[in-house]
């Protein structure tokens, strides 16, 4: 079974079409990223463990299912991943947030890690790594390497992005086959500057208005 989940719900596709428009302003871009992230977060939490509890309604006693207190962490890859944190926290308000600072060297196009700060008990948590764009997969894999080095089981990591491409998906699947990937769109390909086509441009610049 493939570990790639493309969340192509009509509402998600509609919002993604708006997000790609080069004329969309910063505020609307940010709002849409949050909204789309919530749809992705809904899917990524689909298999959270549940437990049964006794509830008394105004009419009778009943047994119902609630989430079994799974410890979660959301790990945005800076800077663009920050744009997806609020959407995830809307669904998982008690989750801890760890940050992974990464920038892309514009000559080598290789990611460089400059910051890594996670909750102390990160190895006991399910970690949802978020980054809007899965391009070469270099940043995501470096983030996974850093988490695994701190004792996180790859099976406890999930990766969520807005736009992916075949090159990035292949790299992740070859190197981290146990990590489930959730994306709102699988685009055509990378260009020579490692931007996704058709894509949406530089997600960080569009989120923070630094174009
Ligand atoms: N990062 C982006 O922000 N956009 C791309 O297309 C690829 C990487």
The ipTM, to two decimals, is 0.96
Is the pLDDT at 128 greater than 70, yes or no?
Answer: yes
Tell me what the mean pLDDT of segment 92-99 comes to.
97
- Residue 199 C-alpha from the chain's centroid: 16
Phi, psi of 204 (to 5 degrees): -65, -45
| pLDDT reported for residue 1 | 58
Q: Which of 76, 77, 78, 202 to mutate to test the pocket of ligand 1 (most atoms within 8 A of CB)?
A: 202
CA 82 to CA 59: how far, in whole Å?
A: 45
- pLDDT, residue 116, reads 97
Mean pLDDT of 5-32: 98
**Closest to 181 (Cα-Cα) out of 139, 140, 142:** 140
Query: Which residue has the least CA distance to atom 7 on ligand 1?
Result: 195
Distance 203 CA to ligand 1 centre (A): 6
Plot region of 80 (φ>0 → left; ψ -120 to 50 → alpha; else → beta): alpha
Asked if the model's pLDDT at residue 148 lies above 80, the reply is: yes
Query: Is 13 strand, coil or helix?
Result: helix
Whether 198 shows a pLDDT value over 70: the answer reads yes
Token output for 68: 């079994």
Radius of gyration for the alpha carbons in the chain, expressed in angstroms and rounded: 18
β-sheet bridge partners, residue 88 = none
The predicted model gives 34-54 an average pLDDT of 97
Overall average pLDDT of the 48-58 stretch = 97
The two structure tokens encoding residue 190:
């990378």
Burial (CB count within 10 angstroms: exposed 0-12, middle 13-18, buried 19+), residue 171: middle
| Rounded mean pLDDT, 69-95 | 95
Residue 29: pLDDT band with limits 50, 70, 90:
very high
- 84 marked ligand binding residue: no
More confident residue, 110 or 4: 4
Backbone phi, psi, residue 71, to 5° = -80, 125
Whole-number pLDDT of residue 208: 98
């Amino acid at each position: 079974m493939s570990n790639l989940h493309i969340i192509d719900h009509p509402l998600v596709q509609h919002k993604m079409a708006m997000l790609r428009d080069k004329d969309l302003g910063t505020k609307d871009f940010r709002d849409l990223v949050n909204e789309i992230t919530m749809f992705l977060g809904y899917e990524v939490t689909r298999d959270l463990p549940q437990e049964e509890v006794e509830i008394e309604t105004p009419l009778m006693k009943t047994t119902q299912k609630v989430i079994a207190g799974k410890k979660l962490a959301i790990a945005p890859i800076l800077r663009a991943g920050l744009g997806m944190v609020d959407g995830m926290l809307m669904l998982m308000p008690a989750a801890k947030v760890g940050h992974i600072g990464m920038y892309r060297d514009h000559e080598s196009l290789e990611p460089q890690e400059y910051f890594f700060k996670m909750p102390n008990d990160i190895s006991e948590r399910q970690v949802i790594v978020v980054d809007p764009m899965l391009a070469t997969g270099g940043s995501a894999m470096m983030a996974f390497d850093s988490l695994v080095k701190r004792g996180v089981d790859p099976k406890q990591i999930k990766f969520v992005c807005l736009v992916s491409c075949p090159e990035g998906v292949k790299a992740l699947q070859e190197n981290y086959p146990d990590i489930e990937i959730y994306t709102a769109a699988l685009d055509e390909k990378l260009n020579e500057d490692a931007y996704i086509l058709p894509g949406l441009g530089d997600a960080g610049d569009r989120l923070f208005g630094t174009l």
